Chains A and B, each alone.
Chain A
Amino acid sequence: MTHRFVALLALGCALLVPMPAAAQIDDTSWGVTGGFSPQWAVPGDWLAGLFDAKTIDVKGPEFRLGIVRGTTMGGEWGVSLIHKRLSKQSTVAVSGNNDLLTVVANDAEMLGVEAHRFIPFTRINKVQVGVNLGAGIAQLRGFVTGSYVGTTSTDFTLPFPDALAVTGREIDWIPVGRAELAAATLVGERLKVCVSGGFNMPGFQVVSLSFSYLLGQDK
């Protein structure tokens, strides 16, 4: 516990230490970006109606990797490959004409592309506070198990896009997007670290860590 507190304190100090302006990249330049969210989740039955499901309890981690264009102390935009894995505890209950099919993620994921933009609206010392906005599309990949629970159980191994087939819908692609509150700061001269949280279609996430490393010339 003490170690964790010290580590957090050190991170907080690092984020708030002023950085000399000479070390910053003020001209817009290209860079690379990446990010990780330990867990995004669809809370409760929030999107159940949209997918013709009775209940949705879907969660999992997310990874992002892409390119970005911006400045160290300004905003930035980019395009990233996103990978959302569904944990094996993810379930969707889908009602067909007669029965309730319980779908459990076995080896399911969403792989897609998202355009995103970080818009800072204030700065406190070296920390930028703003919003992360993004939109894109992701393909449903992998397999799920659809189960009819009864005296005799029946478990179908289904491609992920067939998870909602009993409702007459097959979904190969879904829109993804984000609208998060974010705080970003420089670590060193070129590395910007961002902590964010909020809406992350198709769910929410409490915390997400990301970085962007700009490749432009120092002033």
Chain B
Amino acid sequence: MRIMLSRVAFVVIAAAAAACSPGTLPGSPSPILVGGGGGKYNGSITYRRLGGNFAITEAAQALTLSLALRDVNQIVGRFETSESSGTVQGVLSGDMSNGSFDATVLIVTAARQGGATSNCEGRGEIRGILSGLNLTWTGGSIAYDNCPGLMINSQAQAVAVSPIPDLSPTRANLVITVLGGADVRRGTCPSGIAGYPFTVEMSETAGVNLTFDSQFRIEERRNTGATSSNTLDMPFGSLAGGTRRTYATCSPVAGTYQAFFSGTDASGNRVRVASPVVTLTP
């Protein structure tokens, strides 16, 4: 009788164990969905040196990229690799699971010359493709202001690992967006003349105080002419963590507009951010 009871207990336990095996759970984990407000991507990036006397790491580096969709069609993000980091600001066509974007990358790259390593600050344009969980970007050239002659290009592949963009709690995250979207239609300027009025919002989203450099830069292309650059004095010195400010701009002619801001956060990190390219459409 005791042996019989033992066999029954064994059978019951075995059946229970089988019922709890992974293949027979009552539900299955939800797939990661990207397509709403953004996502966190992990992958790799490869840089190729196109010119200059600096040496950079050209082997593939692990890439962590966070992207967020803001105000209609603007994407903002930040990426990290072992020897570079930077920000991405662009305009999205389609959506985050099936779309493409053209973006400005502001990057800091470790580059070596004569045994010394420099943090080179560069800027370039990339084109990204979003397909399901996958992201790829290919870049035109990235040129560096403080490392003369250095020019590289980049190619990255990544897969979404979370629908939540990842922000460092100790690094300021300055986001520049155009209220209402980066495509601006003809209207009336505050002065009363016809033009393209729009409002740029600058917000710090990580809760870290930021001190701006004394100047910022605006690049404009009027109609189909060449791009011109204008440096203006920064009219305020700092942005408290978690706060925002706006400024209104109005151009009398069609073309494009882009602003560049830089500064240092409370942790001593260098911050460089651009607005998306604003298209002033006739």
Segment at the interface with A among B40-48, B54-62, B141-149, B242-250: B242-250
Are B236 and A154 within 8 A (Cβ)?
A: no
| B218 located at the interface, meaning its Cβ lies under 8 Å from any Cβ of chain A in the complex | yes
Q: Among the interface residues B191, B231, B247, B252, which one has the most CB atoms of the partner chain A within 10 A?
A: B247
Residues from 150 to 183 in A contacting B, C-beta threshold 8 Å: 150-159, 162, 165-166, 168, 170
| B235 located at the interface, meaning its Cβ lies under 8 Å from any Cβ of chain A in the complex | yes
8 Å CB contact of A154 from B191, B214, B232, B252: B232
Q: Across the interface, which residues of B come within 8 angstroms of A151, CB to CB?
A: 251-253
Q: Across the interface, which residues of A come within 8 angstroms of B218, CB to CB?
A: 152, 154
Q: Across the interface, which residues of A come within 8 angstroms of B232, CB to CB?
A: 98-99, 148, 154
Are A97 and B214 within 8 A (Cβ)?
A: yes
Instruction: Tell whether A156 pairs with B236 under 8 Å between CB atoms, given A98-B215, A151-B252.
Output: yes
Q: Among the interface residues A154, A165, A170, which one has the most CB atoms of the partner chain B within 10 A?
A: A154
| A92 located at the interface, meaning its Cβ lies under 8 Å from any Cβ of chain B in the complex | no
21 A-B pairs with CB atoms under 8 Å apart are: A96-B214, A96-B233, A97-B214, A97-B233, A101-B233, A101-B235, A151-B252, A152-B220, A152-B249, A152-B252, A152-B257, A155-B247, A155-B249, A156-B235, A156-B247, A157-B247, A162-B235, A162-B236, A166-B233, A166-B234, A168-B237
Q: Across the interface, which residues of B come within 8 angstroms of A150, CB to CB?
A: 230
Chain B interface mostly: strand
Are B231 and A166 within 8 A (Cβ)?
A: no
Q: Taking the nearest CB of chain A, how far is it from the CB of B178, in angstroms?
A: 13
The contact string, 1 if C-beta is below 8 Å from chain B, for chain A 94-138, is 001111010000000000000000000000000000000000000
CB-based nearest A residue for B247: A156
| B52 located at the interface, meaning its Cβ lies under 8 Å from any Cβ of chain A in the complex | no
Are B248 and A170 within 8 A (Cβ)?
A: no
Q: How many A-B residue pairs have CB under 8 A?
A: 65
| A146 located at the interface, meaning its Cβ lies under 8 Å from any Cβ of chain B in the complex | yes
| B189 located at the interface, meaning its Cβ lies under 8 Å from any Cβ of chain A in the complex | yes
CB-based nearest A residue for B189: A153
Residues from 185 to 228 in B contacting A, C-beta threshold 8 Å: 189-191, 214-215, 218, 220
Are B237 and A162 within 8 A (Cβ)?
A: yes
Q: Across the interface, which residues of B come within 8 angstroms of A156, CB to CB?
A: 235-236, 245, 247
Q: Among the interface residues B220, B235, B249, B251, which one has the most CB atoms of the partner chain A within 10 A?
A: B235
Taking A155-B248, A158-B235 as given, write out 19 further A-B residue pairs in contact, using a Cβ cutoff of 8 Å, ordered by the A residue number.
A96-B233, A98-B215, A98-B231, A98-B232, A101-B233, A148-B232, A150-B230, A151-B252, A152-B218, A152-B250, A152-B251, A152-B252, A153-B190, A153-B191, A156-B245, A158-B236, A159-B236, A162-B235, A170-B237
Q: Across the interface, which residues of B come within 8 angstroms of A154, CB to CB?
A: 218, 232, 247-249
Q: Across the interface, which residues of B come within 8 angstroms of A157, CB to CB?
A: 245-248
Q: Across the interface, which residues of B come within 8 angstroms of A96, CB to CB?
A: 214, 233
Q: Taking the nearest CB of chain B, how far is it from the CB of A4, in angstroms?
A: 38
8 Å CB contact of A99 from B191, B233, B245, B251: B233
Are B191 and A165 within 8 A (Cβ)?
A: no
- Report the separation of the CA atoms of residues A19 and B236 in the bound assembly, to the nearest whole angstrom: 58
8 Å CB contact of B215 from A97, A152, A153: A97
Q: Taking the nearest CB of chain A, how far is it from the CB of B148, in angstroms?
A: 23
Residues from 233 to 282 in B contacting A, C-beta threshold 8 Å: 233-237, 245-253, 257
CB-based nearest B residue for A153: B250
CB-based nearest A residue for B197: A153
- Report the separation of the CA atoms of residues A148 and B235 in the bound assembly, to the nearest whole angstrom: 10
Q: Taking the nearest CB of chain B, how far is it from the CB of A8, in angstroms?
A: 42
Are A146 and B235 within 8 A (Cβ)?
A: yes
